[in-house]
């Protein structure tokens, strides 16, 4: 039986990318130390600042808020109930269970309270794909909820990050490449965004959540089936199986050469406050308020259809 590299106890966890076999306790310590190193290296956060952690109910974001609080950071959770049937109901249940167990503050807001319906219905009404509507709404609600915080943290891990990177490289989306970074400083209505898990894999965050007894939802969002990011993850996993360490090298190599793309991200975009809500946007009305208007128009139309003359 393999022994823990650090203490000679039987090893329970093997991290192939680092060729490291560890016992449970040393894995936890090693994982937390690596994440803290990322936080320091990219100047994401210090212990006086208040961070709002966007929590989906999945392993990554719950593990992240758990770790941040454990290490003494001032983290508050924020969950959006997206109104996607059983998936959202179960996510909310896991979030509540976690909140009760860990005694952390978690703010919950709901898309239904904002729009009177969930993501699926909004997507049908405005004839846009659910993930695109969902992205607009989440981005807006994160920034609004973080008004009194220093930054927003998300649970994106190494696999998420390199799947995005692969998509951006395959299509040479140089503007997106210029903006893909573990930290995005605040500008206009957008809060500083940090991704402390970018150098740890999905396998590691899942293992950490498991050994730390964190309750999380296993299911993926039903709208994510067939998503390109899942396909890219499968390909990258196959490459990693044949060539260990590729995933980490792909991300660190990109970060080393990212300056090559920076000029593409410098396009100055003129932003002005949304006339409805003040959020900085490129047109008169921001995308979120436009969605709201379109939904309300549609509601008025269907109401008129059924009301007697």
Interface contacts to ligand FES, rule CB under 6 A: 82, 119, 130-131, 134, 221, 223-224
Closest to ligand AMP by CB, 14 vs 42, is 42
Give the DSSP H or E segment for 296: helix 287-306
Using CB distances below 5 to 8 A depending on partner kind, what does residue 55 bind out of ligand FES, Zn ion, ligand AMP, none?
ligand AMP
- Spatial neighbors of 173 by CB under 8 A, at least 6 apart, are 167
For helices 59-70 and 24-41, angle between their N-to-C axes, nearest 10 degrees: 80
Q: Interface with ligand AMP includes 62 (CB under 6 A)?
A: no
Part in contact with ligand AMP (CB under 6 A); list of ranges 5-13, 79-87, 230-238, 262-270:
79-87
28, 55, 122, 217: residue in contact with ligand AMP (rule CB under 6 A)? 55
67, 82, 206, 295: residue in contact with ligand AMP (rule CB under 6 A)? 82
Part in contact with ligand AMP (CB under 6 A); list of ranges 29-37, 155-163, 211-219, 261-269:
155-163
Judge whether 95 and 66 are in contact, CB under 8 Å: no
Total residues at the site for ligand AMP (CB under 6 A)? 13
Closest to ligand FES by CB, 4 vs 122, is 122
Closest to ligand FES by CB, 229 vs 237, is 229
Using CB distances below 5 to 8 A depending on partner kind, what does residue 134 bind out of Zn ion, ligand AMP, ligand FES, none?
ligand FES
Q: Interface with ligand AMP includes 292 (CB under 6 A)?
A: no
Phi and psi angles of residue 43, each rounded to the nearest 5 degrees, phi first: 45, 55
Q: Interface with ligand AMP includes 44 (CB under 6 A)?
A: no
Using CB distances below 5 to 8 A depending on partner kind, what does residue 223 bind out of ligand FES, Zn ion, ligand AMP, none?
ligand FES
Closest to ligand AMP by CB, 21 vs 95, is 95
Nearest partner of 182 among 254, 78, 279, judged by Cα: 254
Provide the 8-state DSSP code for 182.
Answer: S
What's the closest the beta carbon of residue 60 comes to ligand AMP, in angstroms?
5
61, 69, 151, 281: residue in contact with ligand AMP (rule CB under 6 A)? 61
35, 279, 292, 295: residue in contact with Zn ion (rule CB under 5 A)? 279
What does the DSSP assignment read for 45-96? --TTSEEEEE--SSHHHHHHHHHHHHTT-EEEEEEEE---HHHHHHHHHHHH
Question: What is the gyration radius of the CA atoms in the chain, in angstroms?
Answer: 21
* Per-residue CA distances from 17 to 22, 30, 48, 246 (Å): 13, 14, 33, 8
What is the three-class DSSP state of 181?
coil
Give the DSSP H or E segment for 123: helix 119-126
User: Whole-angstrom Cα distance, residue 209 to residue 205?
Assistant: 6
Q: Interface with Zn ion includes 51 (CB under 5 A)?
A: no
The upper half-sphere exposure of residue 278, i.e. CA atoms within 13 Å in the direction of its Cβ, equals 3
Q: Which residues make up the interface to ligand AMP (CB under 6 A)?
A: 54-56, 60-61, 78-80, 82, 154-156, 160
């Amino acid at each position: 039986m393999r022994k823990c590299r650090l203490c000679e106890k039987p090893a329970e966890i093997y991290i192939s990318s680092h060729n490291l076999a560890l016992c449970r306790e040393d894995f936890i310590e090693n994982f937390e130390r690596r994440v803290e190193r990322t936080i320091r290296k990219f100047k994401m956060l210090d212990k006086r600042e208040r961070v709002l952690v966007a929590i989906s109910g999945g392993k990554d974001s719950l593990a992240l808020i758990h770790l941040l609080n454990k290490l003494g950071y001032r983290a508050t959770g924020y969950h959006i109930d997206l109104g996607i049937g059983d998936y959202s109901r179960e996510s909310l249940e896991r979030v509540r269970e976690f909140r009760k167990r860990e005694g952390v503050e978690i703010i919950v807001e709901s898309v239904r309270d904002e729009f009177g319906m969930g993501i699926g219905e909004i997507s049908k009404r405005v004839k846009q794909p659910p993930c695109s509507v969902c992205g607009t709404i989440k981005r807006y609600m994160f920034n609004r909820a973080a008004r009194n915080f220093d930054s927003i943290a998300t649970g994106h891990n190494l696999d998420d990050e390199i799947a995005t990177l692969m998509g951006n490289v395959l299509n040479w989306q140089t503007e997106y490449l210029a903006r893909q970074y573990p930290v995005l400083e605040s500008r206009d209505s957008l809060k500083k965004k940090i991704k402390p898990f970018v150098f740890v894999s999905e396998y590691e965050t899942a293992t950490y959540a498991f050994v730390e007894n964190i309750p999380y939802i296993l299911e993926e969002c039903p709208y994510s089936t067939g998503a390109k990011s899942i396909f890219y993850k499968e390909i990258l996993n196959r490459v990693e199986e044949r060539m260990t360490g590729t995933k980490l090298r792909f991300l660190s190599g990109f970060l080393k050469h990212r300056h090559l793309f920076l000029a593409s991200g410098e396009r100055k975009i003129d932003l002005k406050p949304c006339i409805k809500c003040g959020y900085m946007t490129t047109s008169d009305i921001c995308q979120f308020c436009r969605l709201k208007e379109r939904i309300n128009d549609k509601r008025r139309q269907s109401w008129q259809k059924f009301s007697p003359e």
